Amino acid sequence: MTPLPRPAPPPAAAHETAAHETAAHETASHETAAHETASHETASHETASEGAAASVGVASVGGAAREAVAEVGVLWRAARSVMPGGHLDAAGCNVPSDRTLAAVVAQLRGERERGGYAAAPDLAEPRAALAALVGAAPADVAFTESGTAAMAALLGGWHLPAGSRVGHARTEYGGTVMLLRRLAARNGWRLVELPVDGDGRLDPDALRSRLAKGLDLVVVSHVGSHSGVVQPAQELGALCRAAGVPLVLDVCQSLGHVDTGGVGAAAYVGTSRKWLAGPRGVGFVIAATAVPMDAAVPTLGGHRWDGGQVTPRPGAARYETSEGPMAARAGFGAAVMEHHALGPHAVHAHLAALGRVARDLLDGAGGWRVTEPRDEPSALVTLLPPPEDTVDRAAARAAEASLLVSAIPAERAPLHLSQPLLRVSPPPGTGEEPVRALARILAAG
């Protein structure tokens, strides 16, 4: 594992210096279309048998648990009559199932046949299922248009006075860093950097020290867009609760990927399209109602007139507009229900095994170096290029071979990255052959 080179120090701006807390910081009849196209979208690099794909990396799991982990890949693939060949980009945009596709089409058909508002989907069960993944209540869930929109709605309306101290790590997602800097400049907040180790992992002892010195809010990405390192969210959440400081946890890359329970965060933001394999265009806020916060912008759907004053409605409804991509939300609901049916813990173990195999096969190929520890329990793998190659060239060679990977620019984590990375994120059921094919492409330079 090669640690990431650090970028040049960012401008001081509203952040404190490093010595004192640095930072700048529905129906089966409508599924036939998918089956008709399957013969034209064969998985040219998914040549391993279902049994081989399912068994990848599960040797360390015992008994019935091992069987469940092995079965995840088979069931996940069987739920998709169409699967792009060489898809290694679950962290970018995963492949929806036939059931998810059918839910989207059925909702659109209902809107056309009965009218959009008359055909509004019942999302009560998906809300409850989504909330259960973080130990929240259904009323705490609001749907937005993306994870970025969710974070903007949440932090943009957070009630913090001037001088409040907001902690985040230098590994934070670039969009969130931009948002925090703008809010800090507008509201007079002070941004405080939370220390990380050489892998980019937050140090709980350092967070305890920062909390003792005074923080008013902590923002953490559970798994980064640019790194498969899993932050110790449960421990961080316990520290924040003990100090009475709200924690906002970004679960865009972790929900459906790693365990998100037992954190006890004040709020979570996430997205549909990654590890939960829902449609694009849906994000969410999960916010406990006891925290004094509101949406950045009031809406008639989320607020009410109260004696001439605008007050938010109970629960997370304050973050949700009545207008939105209802078909995509219905599809996301189907995807969340499927995740529960597979068994979240088995999915997590299966993906962790895929990540270990990918790191073993890719590290050192053509001089490329994996940046995460080998046993990191995630399937998000990032690689640094050798001097004679580049991320863009490697991604282009992979695309020519029908392998889908992501080139991650340094702007994705501007306080942590000094150069682009290649990101590989195999979805459930991925066999070894696509990863071996990528290793050959990297080695060929």
What pLDDT is attached to residue 173?
A: 98
Banded pLDDT at 137 (limits 50, 70, 90): very high
**Domains annotated on the chain, with CATH:** 117-340 (3.40.640.10)
**CB neighbours of 428 closer than 8 A, spacing ≥ 6?**
72, 73, 76, 77, 347, 350, 351, 354
**pLDDT tops 50 at residue 27:** no
**pLDDT tops 70 at residue 7:** no
300 or 274, greater pLDDT = 274
What pLDDT is attached to residue 11?
A: 45
**301 exposure class (CB count in 10 Å sphere: 0-12, 13-18, 19+):** middle
331 or 65, greater pLDDT = 331
What pLDDT is attached to residue 300?
A: 85
**pLDDT tops 50 at residue 190:** yes
Which residue from 302, 440, 303 is spatially nearest to 362, judged by alpha carbons? 440
What pLDDT is attached to residue 287?
A: 93
Of 19-28, 288-297, 305-314, 384-393, which has the strongest mean pLDDT?
384-393
Average pLDDT over residues 5-21: 45
What pLDDT is attached to residue 308?
A: 87
Banded pLDDT at 274 (limits 50, 70, 90): very high
Predicted model pTM: 0.87
Banded pLDDT at 45 (limits 50, 70, 90): very low
Cα–Cα distance for residue pair 203/187, rounded to 1 Å: 28
Share of the chain above pLDDT 70, in %: 84
**pLDDT tops 70 at residue 48:** no
Instruction: Mark 395-415 as b/e (b = at least 16 C-beta within 10 Å).
Output: bebbeeebbbbbbbbbebbbb
What pLDDT is attached to residue 395?
A: 98
**Lowest-pLDDT range of 19-23, 66-70, 386-390:** 19-23
What pLDDT is attached to residue 2?
A: 67
Share of the chain above pLDDT 90, in %: 76
